[in-house]
Structure formats: structure tokens, C-alpha cells
Structure 1
């Protein structure tokens, strides 16, 4: 009875809450409000199972806290509950609510403005959801009691409401990572109690007005990753209690205002990637509390002020990508707890200072014009704090001398890059002591001698780059102990001897480049077993013999093997000579054989018998080969004739018995169309004539033909008939595929079956493949950014639907993505692996994944299960291909560029513009391109569990899409 009454109360709640309470004065408003809230959301993990409408109090419910005095709800904390749905009006009943936190869920819609009118609400946290809508001007009109609000990581748009200034008691405001635009309202400076303000990662622009000194209680302000212009407000020094100030990644300019010298409590100052200029003022040394100082990627010039040495609390100093000149000040030896110093890409000169090795540094990075002897600086430091150094990058300087022979003292070293210097001598044997080292780059120096056998002791090594030196000798077999090695680049040296078979034991190898050396001998056949190999460049050596067969070597680029005159195989377009035994000539009557004459008679007789048997075997084998060749030729002719008759039967079927049942006539087949009449307007030539051919793939050839109603279709003639287990299995899987329908999937319209010929009939997509638009010429049409984003989102939606119906594609690549006349992407060639039960992952890896670079690494690993995450990897490569316009793997004359690595390196260096396809001519939103590329990299994670599923990918893409840009056409 009580439940029925509750349902009636729910219906009246929105209209007459006072009337409801008067009808049931004993019924708790909080229970009613929370049950209404629960009705508006979905709770996939049953976290709200304890919320029972039959109870009179909500105080024992999960996520709910009450006041012990009033027994009314004061806190509702439902963080990380995976809730979906909308925030309804039920929460408005919680009149005593002080804290409301729904962070890190999947809630959508907007926030009811009336929520801010709750008389006791102090803390509101709606961060990390999918909430959207415009923040209206009066949004915060009644937020008087509010102390803290976080709407971070949502999809809110519009401007920051000026009514925020009504929240006079506000101490924390976080609107980061939304789509908020416009300027920063000066009214915010009136919030005297504000201690933390974060509006980072939005679309705000304009100048930051003066008046910020009114926030004299401010401890943290983050305006990073917006589009602010102008200068830093002159009165910022009035915020003397600031501990964190982050204005990075804007377009701020001018010099640093002197009032900043008052920020003596500031421990984190980040002005990275702006347009600041001039010298760094001497007062920088007055910021004694600084632990992190990042002035990188600006236009600062002049010398590094000696006052930097006064920053005794400094742990991280980043001055990279400016125009600093002179030498590093010796005063920095006073920064005794400094851990990271990055001075890359400046104009610094002078000697390499010895204090670099005396401090307890963890990372040292400098690519400038520093000179001096690496060896002398190293020894002069007397090994003071070597145990702490993890990253040492002194590349692109003018360092000379030999590498220190005691390099092994750097026991914690993980990355050592001394490339592009003038270092001489040999690679030190102490390298074996560097057990934590994962990257060693000594390229472009004057090193000589051989690669030490001790290199095998660096067991954590993942990258070994020694190219462009004068290294001689053999490649040591001990390298097999570097089991994590993924990149081995030794090109342009003077290495000799063979490539050792020990390399084939490095199962993680992805890129090998030993080009332009003096290597000899044959290639070990075991190299074909390397599962993750993406590039193997052996060009311009003196290698000989046949290339390994199988795996990566089936698709190796001719450029990677050029310049080896004695190599043979399809990649070098040179057939290998057949090795035939010399003919055996027997004369059983001969007695003149000197060897026989010296043997006993019984031995002579036995030898003649053996030779006769050998001759018989050779003759029999030759006969079998001849008979086999003739038989295969006859069978091929019969199969072709049979295929022609079957195709003719298809073309002339006219929609009779073939559409409903199979026949037993050897000259006819079974034709099924899932919708419409199976009538074709052309004959067998439409399937077999090369003029009708539109493409070829790993599974067969595709032809275009027209139904009698004028509708074009694409027909794939499968070239793997022998692998189809049975007609029953084939038809069962095809009918499942025929039921799959989605706007971003190429629809299967029907099929044709005979024992030796199977055809799949698809809708015809007129726009052609994505590969054609990106790499093959498209009649002058260039894809705009909106076109590309639309294709990426369409692919994601199509793949999400496939995975929803438990279909793994296996073969994602740009030639299998078709573009229709409206620019929508349609995923094709899905589900084909399910038609062939005999295919395992190794056959698939050569049959399906013929395009290098798309295949997930687990595809070649026996112990890892193939899941939908295999498709996510291929999708990630496609995303990067679309954004950059580059192929997944590109071969240069003496180098190989792997797209994922290129993009990852550029994004690490914040060089987004270097990655984006030059055909876009800068006409793309960087705030979309960068996260799209990051999404592509996440999808291509080496660990399958780190990749998102396709439904999550769709959600992320919809979040990335800027509403202000959606639907707009590029000017190009």
C-alpha cells in the first residue's frame, strides 16, 4: 500500500512538493528526493541497491551521510559509481545538503540551475562526467553559501558567468577541461576568499585584465592551455600567497612584470610555450620557495642570470627552446637538491661545467654548442652523486674526447644520449654495469673499435643506436641477452662478418637497421620468426643467399635489401639458383673402378645395390614431379572452366530456384539475396572480365556489376575456397553477417555458393577507399579537417557496432575503409575470417594483415588471446594515418619511419604542427588535432588492456569535437 502511495507522490513531486509533504507528514523528504534521483539514473554495478523506498530514513544508505541531530541528509558522495543518465530534480528535496559529489561517473545532460539555491550547499563536485550545456549568465545567481565548485572535465560551453561573483564565500573554483570560451570576466577578481582557481584547457581568449591583486588569498591559479593574449597583469604581485602559478600554453607576450618578485611563497611557476621575450630578470632569484621553474618554448634571450643559484629549493629547471646564450652559471652548484635541468635548443656555449656531475641530478638535457671533454668533466666530479643520474642527454653539442671508461658508475642511468658530438674512442666495456639502461644513443660521433662483447650485460636495453660512426668488427652474439631490445640501429659503420643467428632470439625486436656496412654471409632463416618486426634494413652490404621466408620478410621493402648483389628472392626481383644433385652414372658391369677393385667382393656387390636403389628413387621422384605438374595443370583448367560455368549460372539464374534452395547440379549454384530479387543484368564476364575489376585483397578479387533494377553491387570472388570447411558453416556465418546493419558498415546483400566458387555480394560504395584519398590521388579532392574527423568518428561507430555483435574485423587498414558520396566512412571486409574456420592467427597474419603497420603485436604471440583490442590497435594506426596523411611505415633511402613512433616523439616535444598533414595548410583546430593523435597513440598501446574499447573511443571523440567548430566547413 505504501509503495503505491509513493508512486503517486513521485508524479506530484515536480508540481506540488508542499502538498506532498502535507499529505504524508511522516514521510522523509530526503528519502523521496533520493528515490526520484535514483529513478533518473542507471546503476550498472548495483551501488545504490541499499536505497529502498520502503524505508523511512536514508541515513543508512550507501553514499549517504546524515546529521546526527536532525537525521537529515547532509552529504551525498557517489564518486566512481559508473552512474549514467541525467541529474533530475529529486536532489532539490535535500534541503539540508551540505556536500554533493557525483565525480567520475558517466552522467549526461546539464545541471539544474535550482541546485545552487539549496540553502545549505557548501561543496559541489560534478567533475569528470559528460555534462554539457551553456553556463547561463545567471547560473550562480543564488550561490551565496557555496564554498567549492568543480565542473572540470565535462563539456560545458559558453562563457564564464559574471554571476560567479555572487558566490562571495567561494574558496575553490575549477572549470578546467571544458569548451568554455570568451574572455575572463574581471568580476572574478572580487572573490576575496578565493584560494584556488583553475580554468585550464578551455577556449578562453583576450587579455587578462588588471585587478587580480584583489585575490589576496589566492594560493593556486591555473590559466594554462587557453588562447590568452597580452601581458601578465602588472599587479599580480599583490597575490603574494600564491604557491602555484601556471599560465603555460597561451599566447602571452611581453616581459615578466617586476611585481612577480613578491611571489616569495611560489613553489611552482610555469610559463611554458608562450611568446615572452627579453632577459630573465635578476629578481627570479628572490623566489626562494621555487621547486619547479619552467620557462621553456618562449623567446627569452641573453644569459641565464646568476641569481638562479639562489633557488636552493629548486628541483626542476626547464629553460629549453629559447635563445639563451653564454654559459651555464657556476652559481647553480648551490642548487644542491636540483634533480632535472633541461637546457635543450638554446644558443649556450662554453665548457661543459663540472658541477653537472657533482649535483645529485636525475636528468640532464642540453642540445646547444657546449664544448669541452666529456671525459675530463666526468673524472673531475670524482663520482660524487653518480648513483642518482637517470637521464643524461648532451646530444647536438661539440663535446670531444673519449667516453669515460668508468661510465658504469652511473648505476641508475636509464637514458644516455651523446649523439651528434665529436666523441672518439670506443664504446666502453663498462656498459655492462648499466643494468637500468634502456636507451643508448651514441650516433653521429667518431667512435671506432668494435662493439664490446660486454654489451650483452645491459639486459634492460630497449634502444641501441650507434649509426654514423667508424665502428668495425662483428656484431657480438652476446647481444641475444638484451632480451628487451626493440630498436637496433647500427647503419653507416664498418661492421663486417655475418649477421649472427643470435639476433633471432630477440623476440621484441621491431626495427633493425644495419645498412651501409660491410656485412657478409647469409641471413639466418630464424629471423622470419621474429613476431614484432616492422623494419629490417640490410641494404648496401655484401650479403648473399636467399632471404628468409615467412613473417615480415614476405612484405619487406625492396629498398631495405638493395645494394646486396648476391642476395636473391622476390624482394630483390632475383630468383635463387636451384641446387640440383649431380647425375649418378652407373655401370654395373664395369670392373675398372679402382676403389671397387680394392674392396672385398661382398662389399662391392653391396655398394652396387645401394647405388641402384638411389638411382631408382631419383628416377621415381622425377616421374612423380612430372605427373604432378601435368595433373595440377589439368585440374587448373577444369577449375577455371568450372568457375566460368558457375559464374554463368549465377548471371543467368534470373531469381528462380537458386534464391531459395541449393541444387545438386554440378553446373549450377545457390544464389541468395537478403533483400530484393537476385537478378543481374550482365553475364559471366561481369565477374571474370578485368574491365569490371575494382580491387584485389588477401581473400580475393572484387568486381562491380549492376542488378537489373539499376542498383550497382560489389562482388567479392573468394580465392580461398579450399579453406572453407563446409557449405553449412559458410552459409551460417554469411547469414549472420547479412543481419549486421549500420550506417558505417558496408552491407552484405547476398552470396553465391558452389563447392569450388563462393561469391559475396556487397553494396557498392562509390567514393572509393580511404587509401585513395590519402595516398593514391583523389582527382584533386583534398580531405579537410572536418572530413577527416567525420571519417574517424564514422569508423569508430562502425567498429563499436561490430564489437557489440561479437565480430572481430582482423583486417583494418585504409584500403578497407570506403567513403560514400556524402563523405561518410563505411568499414568493409569485416567478418571474412569467420568464414574460414581453418585459418589460425599465423595464416591470418600473412593472408589478412598484408598491410605492414596495422597489426597488433599480440597477433603474432601464441600466448596472448586475440580480442577486439586487436581491432582497436588497427583503428589507432588509421587515426594517425588520417591526421598525418602518412603511411603506417614509410621507407626512406637510409631510414625507416614508423608512424606511431614519429607522432609519439613529436607530441612529447609538443610539436603538433609537425605531425598534421601538410595538405591542411594549417587550417585545423590544434585543440582537436592533438587529443585525436593522443587517442590514436593510446589505441596503439603495446599492452592490449591499456587500449580503450570502441564504445569508449566513440565517447572520447564526441568529447573532443568542439561544438563551435562542428558542422563548419574549412575555408579550403
Structure 2
């Protein structure tokens, strides 16, 4: 071998050894890095193995000598603490990209040892604490620290040595408040500057115009004040300028229109003023956002000629004049919001010409004319809002049924004509605002097909006819306002199916018939206004279960008793002369009368269990004086005292003959309840009070026959003196027993059952389950049909009052009868009471 060959071989071996040594050091650093971090996507770092070359690791790039120059682990789902203290041992490292992970912890101060870095991306992570001083990183060209939760004082002075920076992205970090850093405007190579939402204050430096390479300037969401510096017009390469949500004042500086490359301009939410004339030269604009400022004057007509403009947001300014009629006709127009200005003239007809428009928002202006027919074919439209203008005419039929529409807002205009059946096609329509117009005709039945509706406001129009029963299909409806129209006919029962309804207003119409009892089943109803109609009949007791902040039933033709639980709604029932109340002093006092000349109904307790359709029809007492020595079960010759609360159409004998074991249907603490079938087929529930019955209130037996008291008779003073408290005691005992029986009927349980627990009875069991409406519903016997469960709850309330622990708190039997009358549990059962108080039972259809 020649000397030259030997030298070449030696040199090659030296390079190989050096290469192996470098690779070995880099390998150890990378393996240490792998051991410190975790990944949520298993397999990301599987290629990082001990016996492999680091140049083959995922995310690793090496130079020709095998040294690691780049680590790119962005978007890898990594979390944990990154070992920054060791990564700088990679002496050839020029790029470290860790963006869009969930890395945490702090960045140590020895980070400055990564002197070869040109590219650093730690953005969009979960770091903490301040970012350390980095003046030694003089080669840095790209610095991404945005959205990484760094805090404290940022080392702005470190930028003095970073003269090679092309990208500086520090936005969306909670740094300590600082004035706009002068160090930034000395970085003349910058093409991308993102300092939004990082606590900058003060004025934008005039020298910003020296950054002539800038293509993107974002300094939004800060505390910047003063005017837009005139030097900004020198940034001829700028294609995006975002300065929104500051406190900037003044006008666009002269020459601003020279920024011909601007495609995105957002200066919204400031206090800028003046006209928009400088912007008429920005023909490449794609998006223009200037809302919530003080701009005035007319919108430049040139905007209608812009071929790329797709988003225009000018709302809440002082703009006047018409919208450019060519607006959107040459572009794939997507969005306009010019609300809350003083614009006049018609709506531009061609903004949906390309068929891609999603939102048209022109609220609170002075626009005139009608809605162009072209929008009836805008199938992509999601929001159409033109309320509070002076628009008129009929709405194009197809607009009602656009398939993507979420909101139609036409309120406070002069629109007329009907809502057409096309609305059935608006499957995504959630909000319909039509108030304060001149809409007329009947509301189409097809509105029930718009099942996504949550808010409907039809108030102050000229609608007429019946309210569609299909409205009950709107299960998500939360607000329904139909006041001040000409609706007539009954309020549909189906509205009780709108289980999310919280606000219902049907005032000032011509509605008639009874108030649907189904309104009482609306669990979230908060406001109910049915005033100024022609509603008649009784106020449904079911409304008592509602917790309303507003109830107004005034100025109707309602009659009967105001439910006791509703009497606190002061003024809610005025203008109904047929109503009476025992608590509202301004109303006639309710008087219970019966006879051939009064239209008096008898209301009875009805609970449905299996084949027993009607169990109780009237309530009365049977008091028995029974000899202590007598053991016969025959009741014929015993002494009876009957107390009636309504006129009866049967005799004592009719009752006594049926008091036998086979008719027993329940036992209480004071006596037993029997099912009595009269000769004409009527069924009664009869309570037999045992003479030795007691409760915790008394130990004294009632040994004398009670005199019969009619409805109009009161108990005399002599009676109370003769019998003392014993009559009251036994009545309280009977009320308690009656309450127990009611609980048995409602729950389908026996007085004592194993599930109640040791030494517990049905009264305790019911009391322990009065925690929520759901738990109360669980008490009701499952055999009771869904439509009768609310009626069963009414009877359960009476039972709870009857079984109060202290007898003094229990109502009198006369009050119990009145409560049952008010509850009307048989109304749905087809019971008809004649004026003569004869009970007739119709079959349930």
C-alpha cells in the first residue's frame, strides 16, 4: 500500500470515529429527552431507540456529519416537562419546534447556551413563569412563543441582539404590562409581527413605518392609544393589518389607500372616526372589519366593484347613505353586518349571487323597499336579520323555508302578508322574530314541522284565525309571544307538550274557551300572560303547581273560584266579574249553594286503578255509637250520626246495607273505608268511624250521636258546650284517616308495607319522598295513566294536609271537601253533574 493510501485510510478512520463520537453524544441527549416527556399518541417516539442512529429518529434532521440540527416534534400530542437543560448540549442544533403540544413547566435560564438556534417554536403549550433572557441567541430568525402561558416581565432588551429576526410571535401571553417596545421597531428584517394580547400599552411608535418588509402586523387586544401613525402607509408589502380592540383614535392617515396589497383589515372596536374614502383604493380587500367605531359618511360605492371582498362588517358606526347596490355581485360574498348605522335605500340584490352567502345582518337602520326575491334562493343562508328598518312588502315565500336558516328576524318593519307553508322546510330554524309588522292571515299548520324552533315572536301584527294545534310539536320552544293580534278560538291543549316553554304571552287577542289545564304541566314556565281575551270557565287548579314570576289572566270572562295558591298574584285576575275568592278582598266571596236555580257542580275524587274507574264520588261521615259489650257485626240497629256536606240522593239504609267485609277497600287509624254501590249503579266511598278509634291528639271516645249539620248551618255555641272538644277531636281523627285512605288510592300501597321500613307507615313513606317533583311523581301508582298523574298529585296534596302531625294543623272536613272540589279530579273522567246535583257517569271513550 502506498504512503498516500495509508494517509487516506487513516484520515477516513479518524472521521468515522469522530462521527461515531458525535452521534453517540447526540443519541444520549435524545434518549434523555424521550425519558422526560410523554405522548398521548403511543408510537410517536418508538423510533427513538438505543441501538439506532439518531438521524433515523422521527422528527430529527442531521447534517452531513451526522450531527442533530433539527428537532421538530410539533403537533405530536406531547405533555410533561421538556428537558431544556440538556437539549442545548446538541451543539449543532439550529431548529427546535415544539409547538401545539401540552408541554408544561418553566424554561431555565441556561437556555441561552443554545447559541446556534435559528428557529425556536414553543408556541401553543402550557408553560409557566417568565421567559428567560436570550440575548446570546444572535442567530435567531424565527421566534414563536405565542399562546404558551408565559407570564411576568418579558426580556424585551434581548431583542437588541436578535437583529436577524424575520418572525416575532409573542401574542396571547399574560406578560406584565409594558409600553410598545422600541426594540421591536429596530428589527428591520421582520416580515411577521404578532404582539396581540400580550399587555402592550401606549402609542404605536412612529418608526413602525421603518419595518418595510412587514407583511403581517397584528397588535390587537391591547391597551394602545393615540392615532394610527402616518408612517404605516410605507408598509407597502402589508397584506394583513389587525389593530382591533384597542383605544385608537383619529382617522385613517392620508395615503392609507396606498397599501394596495392589503387583503385583510381589522380596525374594529376602537374610537376611530372620519370617513372611509381612503379605503376605496384597497381593491384587493377580502375581509374588512371596522365595527364599533365612530366612522361617518357614506360607504364608498367602489366597494360594490371589489372582486374579492367576501366579508364586510361595519356595524355600530354613524354611516349614512345607501349600501352599494353592486355589493357582492362580483365576489363569493359570505357575510355582511352593517347594523346600527343610519343607512338608507334598498337591500343590495346580488350579495348571494354566488350562492355562498351565510349571513345578512342589517338591523337598526333606515332601509326601505322590499326584500329582493333573489334571497329566496340563497340556500346557504344561516342568518337573515333586517329588524328595525322601514322595509315593506311581502316576504318572498321561499325565504321562510331556506334549509340552513337558524334565525329570521324581520321585526319592527312594515311587512305584510302571510307566513307561508314553506316554513315546513326550515328544519334548522331556531328563532323567528316577526313582531311589530303588518303580517296577517292564519298561522300555517306547517309551523309545527319546524321542530328546531326555540323562540317565536309574532306579537303586534294582524294575524287571525285559530292557533295551530301543531305548535305542540315544538318540544324545544322556550318563548312564545303572540300578543296583540287577532287570534281566535281555543288555546290548543297541545301547547302543554312544549315542555321547555318558559315565557308564554297570548294577551290582547280574541281567544275563547277555557284555559287548558295542560299549561300546569309545563315544568319551566316562568311567565304566563293571557289577559285581554274572551276566555271563560274556571281557572285550572293545575296552574297552582307552577312557579311563576308573572301571571296575568285579567280582562277575560273567567268564573268560579280563584285557586287559593294563586291568590298572591295581585291584580292578575282583575276584569273577570265572575270570579270569586275567599282571600282576595276585592273579589266577591265564594258561596257554596245548590238547588234547581243555581248552576252548581259537585266535584268528586276520582282515581283510576285497573278496573276500578271511579272510586269516590262524595265525602260524608258516619259516626257510630256502639255498645262496648256488643260483639255482633250487624250495623242495622246501631246509632248513627250522618254529617253531609252536599245534598244527597240516597238514604241511610242504602249505606248501612253495604258496610260489610267483602266491600272493604282500606283501613285507617280511625276506621275503615268501604265501597258502596247504590241501586242506580253509582259508587261511593264510605268511611266507618270506629267508636274506639283514637289518634295522638285524644284519648276520649265520642259517645253521643252528632247532630246533622247542613251546608248553611254552623255549629252552635250550645253544641260546643255540650260536647266540648270531643266532636272536633273525632273530626280531626277522621280527617287523618281520610288522608291515609287518599294516600292509599294515589300510591296503590297498603297502610303498612315492608318497604316503608320498621315502625313506618304510609304517611312517613310519603313524607320522606317529597324531595322533588320527580320523586313525588314516583309516589303515584304506576297504574295511573300519564294524563291523570297531575290530578293524582292534587289529591296527594290534600292527603298530606289531612295527615299533618299536629291535629290542630289539619283542615276541617268541610275544607277538605272544598279542596277536592277545587282540584276537579274527575273533569277528565267524563263526570257530569246536573243542576239538581244528580250524579251521572259517562263511559270513558
Report the TM-score range of the alignment, normalised by the length of the smaller protein. Answer: 0.5 to 0.7
Superposed, 1:214-613 pairs within 5 Å as 214-281=210-277, 283-332=278-327, 335-355=330-350, 360=355, 361-374=357-370, 377-379=371-373, 386-405=378-397, 407-408=399-400, 410=402, 412-507=404-499, 509=501, 511-522=503-514, 524=516, 533=524, 535-540=526-531, 542=535, 545=538, 547=540, 554-561=545-552, 563=554, 568=563, 570-573=565-568, 579-580=603-604, 581=617, 584-586=648-650, 611-612=678-679
Higher Cα radius of gyration: 2
Q: Once the 2 structures are TM-superposed, how far is the Cα of residue 340 of structure 1 from its aligned partner?
A: 1.7
Residue number among 130, 147, 154 corresponding to 2:126 in the alignment: 130
Give per-residue Cα distances to partners, 1:410-455, cap 9 Å, x unaligned. 5554322111112233333433343443322111223333322232
1:885-934 CA-partner distances (Å, limit 9, x unpaired): xxxxxxxxxxxxxxxxxxxxxxxxxxxxxxxxxxxxxxxxxxxxxxxxxx
Per-residue deviation, 1:39: 5.6
Question: Cα distance, 1:500 vs. partner?
Answer: 2.1
Alpha-carbon distance between aligned partners in 2 of 1:405 and 1:239, rounded to the nearest angstrom: 50
Q: Within 2, Cα distance between the matches of 1:385 and 1:29?
A: 68
Give the Cα–Cα distance (whole angstroms) in 2 for the partners of residues 316 and 87 of structure 1. Answer: 45
How big is the shift at 1:355?
4.9
Q: CA deviation at 1:111?
A: 1.7
Residues 333 and 352, structure 2, Cα contact 8 Å, conserved in 1: no
Q: In 2 relative to 1, CA 517–65 (structure 1 residues): closer, same or farther, beyond 3 Å? A: farther
Change (3 A) 1:437 1:133: same
Deviations 1:770-801 (A, max 9, x none): xxxxxxxxxxxxxxxxxxxxxxxxxxxxxxxx
C-alpha distance 423-619 of structure 1, shift in aligned 2 (>3 A): closer
- In 2 relative to 1, CA 143–346 (structure 1 residues): closer, same or farther, beyond 3 Å? same
Map of 1:831-910 to 2, 5 A cutoff? 842-843=774-775
Match of 1:618 in 2: 684
Q: Which of 193, 196, 205 in structure 1 is aligned with 2:192?
A: 196
CA shift, 1:842, in A, is 2.7
CA distance in 2: counterparts of 1:135 and 1:467, whole angstroms: 59
State whether residues 31 and 50 of structure 2, in contact with CA within 8 Å, keep that contact through their aligned partners in structure 1.
no
Note the alpha carbon deviations across 1:514-540, whole angstroms, 9 max, x for none. 345454445555556656x36352352
Following TM superposition, by how much is the alpha carbon of 1:109 offset from its aligned partner in structure 2, in angstroms? Answer: 3.6
Equivalent residues of 1:403, 1:428 under 8 A apart = no
The CA RMSD over aligned residues, in Å, is: 4.4
| Distance (Å, rounded) in 2 between the aligned partners of 1:354 and 1:273 | 29
| Contact 1:153 1:176 (C-alpha < 8 Å) held by counterparts | no
Structure 2: distance between partners of 1:502 and 1:629 = 48
Q: Is the 8 A contact 1:286 1:310 kept in 2?
A: no
Deviations 1:449-473 (A, max 9, x none): 3322232343443332212323333
Contact 1:40 1:88 in 2 (8 A): no
For the residues of structure 2 that align with 1:526 and 1:65, how far apart are their CA atoms?
72
Paired residue total: 605
Distance across 2 between alignment mates of 1:61 and 1:208: 45
Contact 1:248 1:270 in 2 (8 A): yes
User: In 2 relative to 1, CA 71–521 (structure 1 residues): closer, same or farther, beyond 3 Å?
Assistant: farther
Q: Distance in 2 between matches of 1:111 and 1:331?
A: 55
Contact 1:320–1:346 (CA under 8 A) maintained in structure 2? yes
Bigger share in strand: 2
Scaled by the length of structure 1, what TM-score is found? 0.55
Aligned pairs for 1:778-793 within 5 A: none
Structure 1 residues 398 and 501 mapped into 2: Cα distance closer, same or farther (>3 Å)?
same
Query: Given the superposition, is the C-alpha separation of residues 561 and 237 from structure 1 closer, same or farther in structure 2, using an over 3 Å criterion?
Result: same
| Counterpart-to-counterpart distance in 1, 2:121 and 2:115 | 17
Deviation at 1:356, TM superposition (A): 5.6
**Relative to structure 1, is the Cα distance of residues 411 and 32 closer, same or farther in structure 2, using a 3 angstrom cutoff?**
closer
In the alignment, structure 2 segments of 5+ residues that lack a partner are 1-16, 569-580, 583-589, 593-601, 605-616, 618-645, 655-675, 700-752, 762-767, 780-845
| Deviation for aligned residue 1:140 | 3.8
Q: Which structure shows the bigger proportion of residues in helix conformation?
A: 1
Shift of 1:278: 1.0
Query: Secondary structure of 1:308's match?
Result: helix
Q: Note closer, same or farther for the CA distance 1:396–1:250 as it changes in structure 2 (3 Å cut).
A: same
Cα offset, 1:199, TM superposition? 1.1
* Cα distance in 2 between the residues matched to 1:845 and 1:244: 61
Whole-Å separation in 2 of the counterparts to 1:491 and 1:155:
55
Residues in 1 aligned to 2:64 and 2:760: alpha-carbon distance in whole angstroms: 79
Q: How does 1:611-690 map to 2 (within 5 A)?
A: 611-612=678-679, 618=684, 620=686, 622-623=687-688
**Offset at residue 384 of structure 1 (A):** 8.6
CA deviation string 1:42-93 (max 9, x = no partner)? 6677667748885575456565555575063631405453513465412222
Query: Structure 1: which 5+ runs fail to align?
Result: 1-20, 591-608, 636-721, 728-753, 757-835, 848-972
Deviation of 1:290 after TM superposition, in Å, equals 0.5
Q: Could you report, residue by residue, the CA deviation over 1:596-619 in whole angstroms, capped at 9, with x for unpaired residues?
A: xxxxxxxxxxxxx9525967x635
Q: How does 1:673-822 map to 2 (within 5 A)?
A: none
| 1:158 is the counterpart of 2:153 | yes
The whole-number CA distance in structure 2 between the counterparts of 1:362 and 1:314 is 14
Match of 2:117 among 109, 114, 121: 121
1:568 and 1:139 mapped to 2: Cα distance? Answer: 78
Indicate the residue corresponding to 1:98 in structure 2.
Answer: 94
Quick check: 1:197–1:221 contact (8 Å CA) kept in 2? yes
- TM-score normalised according to structure 2 size: 0.62
CA offsets per residue over residues 817-860 of structure 1, 9 Å max, x none? xxxxxxxxxxxxxxxxxxx999899339999xxxxxxxxxxxxx
Cα distance, 1:326–1:472 mapped onto 2, change above 3 Å: same
User: Structure 1, residues 546-565: CA drift from partner, whole Å, max 9, x if none?
Assistant: 65759xx7452252355376
Deviation at 1:161, TM superposition (A): 0.6
